Amino acid sequence: MISLSSQKEVPPEFRRRTQLLVALVCIIFLFLFVRLLYLQVIDGERYTYLSENNRIRLKKVPGTRGMVRDRRGQLMVDSRPSFDLLFVPEDSVEPEQTLRRLARYLGRPEEELVKPFKDDKYRAPFDEIVLGKDIDWRSVVVVESHQLDLPGVSMRTRPRRNYLDTGMAAHLIGYLGEIGPRQLKTQKASGYSMGDEIGQAGLERRWEEYLRGQSGGQQVEVDALGRRVRILHEVEDVPGYNVVMTLDRDVQHAAQEAMQGKEGAIVALDVRNGAVLAMVSAPAFDPNVFARGVTAEEWRGYMNDRAHPMNNRAIQGQYPPGSTFKIVLSLAALEEGAIQPDTHLGCAGSMAFGNRVFRDWKKEGHGSVDLRRGIVQSCDVYFYQVGNKLGVDKIAKWARALGLGEKTGIDLDDEKSGLIPDSEWKLRRFKQPWFPGETPSIAIGQGYVTVTPLQMALMMSAVANGGTVYKPWFVQRVESLDGAVVREYGPEKLRTVTFKEGTLTNVRNALADVVASPEGTGGAAKSPLVRIAGKTGTAQVAEMKGATVKSENLAYLIRDHAWFVSYAPVENPEIAVAVIVEHGGHGGSAAAPLAKKVIETYLAAQGEIPAPTEKEPAGQKLARAPVDDRAD
Amino acid sequence: MPIDRRLISHFDWPLVALAIGLVCVGFLTIYSATYSITEHRASGLAMKQFYWFLFGLVAMISAATLDYHHVDRIAYPVYGVTLVLLAVVYFIGHSGGGSQRWIHLGFFTLQPSELAKIAIVLALTKFFQYDEPPGGYSLRNLWMPFLLVGPLAVLTLIQPDLGTAIIIVVLFFSLILMGGLRVRSFLALAAAGIAFMPIAYHFLKPYQRNRIWTFLNPDLDPLGAGYHVIQSKIAVGSGRFLGKGFLNGTQNRLDFLPAQHTDFIFAVFAEEWGFIGCLLLLVLYFAFMIAGLRVVARAKDRIGALLAFGVVAMFFWQAVINVAMVTGLMPVVGITLPLLSYGGSSMVTMMVAVGFLLSVSMRRFTF
């Protein structure tokens, strides 16, 4: 033994402590020695067995993702079981022969199955090769029944995301995709690993932590052929929570149907709380394509599509509001005292202001016009004058108060704010003062003004509910599997605008007449089942030189956008709908019927009116005959 | 600086031989751990480790040449620099393996938490160098050491580097015990420590909590941390009496082991060299500890004995915790095996520590 001799100078108290330490080191090392003896000598045989061919494998089972339902409990998104075909070459004596046999059983070209095996040089031993994802039922049966001939071939069940109706509300719900390397880096701590799926956009991403559930799996002991001998440990997967949206599936469906083949957006809000009832952006993408793993070709297809199906036009499309902006002008003018409801202004078909001539859509003019006729017939000259009386800054003040020109704050990524210009903005942006000659364009929603369809629906809701601007929301509840509420969401007031007595009544009556009156521009939205209030709009895409041209004759891309913003029922408003049809031509003919359909579907779903008949009565179109087709 | 001839004659050759022996075992095992069966060659990491060893050798000789009485002067500056580096890591550090532990310095990356272990040994050695009060220190006398250890432990913990934080705290307790803590105070401290545990637990990252729970009950996470422990145990156990032979460890070869050339290097070694190999390795470490404790016992003065003790404690706790973790006796906390695990900062730190031991050992007869 080593002697711990000490010098005189060594502090005496340390001698005893050092001896204690030697004893401690001896005891602990003895402990480690015994542990190694136990692992390596006594239990060594067992561990050797386990290490040969590495008999212990992990089979991970991702937790079934939560479902998404609409406000009435109808399914929007669920998960269905699917089978992936796997192959572990180390479990097969002749891997290539096995694969060729498998190809013959499945009736697939042999090279197609052998190729991934030959190409995969960097695979770690005992890692599985995925031969096929989501294979059909026949293949499952074939593989099961020839299991003995196919060493190393196995199947893995995986829940696969299923977006109903080939992707209802695709832009709102988003999609699921395999986790990327960069996401993996940031998400590793939350328990994600390679190959896991994660919400990549929309609701799927924002509500990821609730929807995801916990993955389970098995620690399995396998035999030399990779077949399961026994399960050593098993962790049950925990399904994710279900999410209940504020959407109504029927309304969404109707809105999507209405937009079929068109480009544009429809937003329907509950005016009483800002809940989103439907949101369509057309054209849309199919999230199921992402759920099964998007191919490079499909991705390029979406990206290069001129119509940009990945964009959510409802919150990202920034359009000039056109004549729908006259609602804002009317409210502002009455509130600021710029006009009275019975103030009459003349319209001779155009107005000279500064060195420019501003045209009315109706060449021969509207004659003497008051507020009601100004709105109902959408007289441009009337609103040029109203705009001049107000000035751009007061217009901007009221537009912003009603939620235009700023993000609504809806729980979706990349929302755009639109633009409400004022003199300060002009100075900042162009280093120029505001010229009075720019105001008339603003007054009819052209020029610098842009808005998103969601903002227009929000503005319309505020008109309908008496001035409250709500933050739009589309998820009302997160529920556990047994229906218990995990989280609940409710309306959130962004601000309340107070109006003078009479202001809203005057504007609302005029909006109702836009649809109801024979001379109104929105006659196409007239419903025998419910009274609808609304305003048409035609947003110019290209500046028109010279005489007005019928927009149907223009090349598609420079044809005007068609707007219709509305709410219903007039007596007791519940729903506000904003519709824009890109290059649709006139709001009255292209957008108004879509809004009507959405409103009718909603009220029918609420049981408040009978279900609308699919075909419009033949006389309906004729009823609008007196109204100029270019009416706006 | 001319070196006293007596210093050279008292050079502690056995201690140096034991350290170099451990480093050589490290080379072999790193070579094996990073050997690729598909390319039939090892990565350059073993060679890189050799260069680090050469650098460490220079550092060791420098540390040995330094009169350890200078610890009194350098302890706090070293402590201060370490603290700054840890703060830098926290703010701008390079992110690797899910935590921020490294600073890029052009040709190499520095891991300041390694330096923190040296810093705490030096700082506490300085504090305890004077004779202890009769009956030993009470907790009231020890506010300064607590103040010193707190920021170091917290900054390493939030990186998060739980392993090093644990070593720092364990070193702290070892040194105040050696420094002369009253028995009553020790009991009070132990009680406080147990009471503090739930609070500390609160600050752990979810994956660290998982590891602790998994250790207490491996069935809880058989697919994650539990899987690592089981694969590591399979590697060690399947080595059996004589081992599978150099480069023949299948667990290691097939990438079933996590961090096989750093934290789990012992599993690679155990699989290939078996119980006999492990026994020899343990004997090597044991002999190193005893040689170190002999330096403590024969030190000329208190400051020397404490410095030597600090170094031995660092080696001891790291080796024991690492082996215990790899063999499934303790939770996986990410502590390297001293002188064996791959890593430049770790290697240089350990060699400097050996240098301190030599410095104390050589000067035991000088006055």
Render pLDDT for A497-522 as a digit per residue (tens, 0 to 9): 999 989 999 999 999 999 999 989 99
Q: What is residue B280's three-state secondary structure?
A: helix
Any idea where the domains of chain A sit in the sequence?
57-245, 249-296+312-623
Is the same domain home to B289 and B245?
yes
Residue ranges of E strands in chain B: 35-36, 41-42, 94-96, 99-105, 108-110
The answer to whether the bond into A283 is cis (omega within 30° of 0) is: yes
- Alpha carbon distance A40, A47 (integer Å): 8
Q: Does the reported pTM lie above 0.80?
A: no
Residue B4 lies in a domain: no
Q: Which helix (H) or strand (E) holds A80?
A: strand A75-87
B320–chain A Cβ distance below 8 A for any pair = yes
Neighbouring-strand partners of residue A351:
A358
Residues of chain A numbered 172-191 and touching chain B (CB < 8 Å): 185, 188-191
Q: Give the integer Cα–Cα distance in Å for A50 and B204.
A: 33
> Is B265 a residue whose pLDDT tops 90?
no
Q: Is B10 contained in some domain?
A: no
Judged against a pLDDT cut of 90, whether residue A619 lies above it is answered with no
B256 vs A: CB within 8 A: yes
Over range A269-290, report the average pLDDT.
92
Cα–Cα dist A546/A558, whole Å: 16
Q: Picking from A327-331, B19-23, B194-198, which range would have the lowest pLDDT averaged per residue?
A: B194-198
Same domain, B50 and B186: no
Q: What is the mean pLDDT of chain B?
A: 82
What is the SS3 string spanning A202-241?
Answer: HHHHHCHHHHCCECEEEEEEECCCCCEEEEEEEECCECCC
B41-42 and B94-96: which strand pairing?
unpaired
Q: In this structure, is residue B152 part of a structural domain?
A: yes
Distance CA B158, CA A39 (A): 35
CA distance B297 to chain A (A): 6
Q: Which of B204, B225, B258 is the last residue of a domain?
A: B204
Task: Please state the domain count of chain B.
Answer: 2
Q: Tell me the percentage of chain B whose pLDDT exceeds 70.
A: 82
B283 found inside a domain: yes
pLDDT the model gives residue B38: 58
Write out the H or E segment, with its range, that includes residue B227.
helix B225-238
CATH of segment(s) A249-296+312-623: 3.40.710.10
What ipTM was assigned to the predicted interfaces of this complex? 0.88
| Whether residue B236 is found in the same domain as residue B350 | yes
Contact flag A40-B241 (C-beta cutoff 8 Å): yes
pLDDT of residue A224: 56
* B260 shares a domain with B132: no
Residue A545, C-beta contacts closer than 8 angstroms, at least 6 positions apart: none
The reply to whether B5 falls in a domain is no
For residue A56, pLDDT beyond 80: no
**Percentage, residues of chain B above pLDDT 90:** 26
Q: Which position has the higher pLDDT, A207 or B93?
A: A207
Residue A352, pLDDT score: 85
Q: Say if residue B48 is in the same domain as residue B192.
A: no
Domain stops at, among B163, B184, B204: B204
Q: Do B232 and B360 have their domain in common? A: yes
Query: Does a structural domain hold residue B121?
Result: yes
For residue A173, give both structure tokens: 């719900």
pLDDT for A221-260, tens place per residue?
Answer: 766 555 666 776 777 788 889 999 999 999 999 999 999 9
With an 8 Å Cβ cutoff, are A43 and B237 in contact?
A: yes
Report residue B97: phi and psi, to 5°. Answer: 60, 35
B185 and B134 inside one domain: yes
pLDDT of residue A630: 43
Q: What's A597's DSSP letter? A: H
| Strand A68-69 with A242-245, pairing | parallel
Shared domain check, B217 and B194 = no
| Same domain? B53 vs B106 | no
For A139-184, the pLDDT digits (tens) are 888 888 888 888 888 888 888 888 988 778 999 999 988 887 777 7
Owning domain of residue B195: 68-204
**Residue B225 confidence (pLDDT) above 80:** no
Interchain CB distance below 8 Å, B222 and A235: yes
B189 and B243 inside one domain: no
- Angle, helix A137-145 to helix A95-106, in steps of 10 degrees: 130
Of A418, A416, A504, which is closest to residue A460 (Cα–Cα)? A504
DSSP state of A360: P
3-state secondary structure of B253: helix
> What is the reported pLDDT for A547?
43
CA A99 vs CA A115, A116, A147, A153: distances in Å: 10, 10, 12, 9
Quick: pLDDT tens for B33-75: 887 655 666 677 888 888 889 999 999 999 988 888 888 888 8
B294 in the same domain as B190 = no
- The answer to whether position B8 is within a domain reads no
- A4 touching chain B per CB within 8 A: yes
- Of B187, B204, B221, the position where a domain reaches its end is B204
Task: Name the H helices within A391-433.
Answer: 392-401, 423-430
pLDDT at A3 over 70: no
CA–CA min distance A219, chain B (Å): 7
A336's CB contacts (< 8 A; 6+ apart) are A390, A394, A398
In whole angstroms, what separates CA B89 from the centre of its chain? 20
Give residues 114 to 153 of A whose Cβ lies within 8 Å of B.
121, 124-126
| Helix ranges restricted to H, A502-545 | 503-516
pLDDT of residue B109: 64
CATH number of A57-245: 3.90.1310.10
b/e per residue A327-355 (b: at least 16 CB within 10 A): bbbbbbbbbeebbebebebebeebbebee
Residue B234 shares a structural domain with residue B350: yes
Report yes or no on B135 lying in a domain. yes
Q: How many CB atoms lie within 10 A of CB A413?
A: 13
What letter would DSSP give residue B34? T
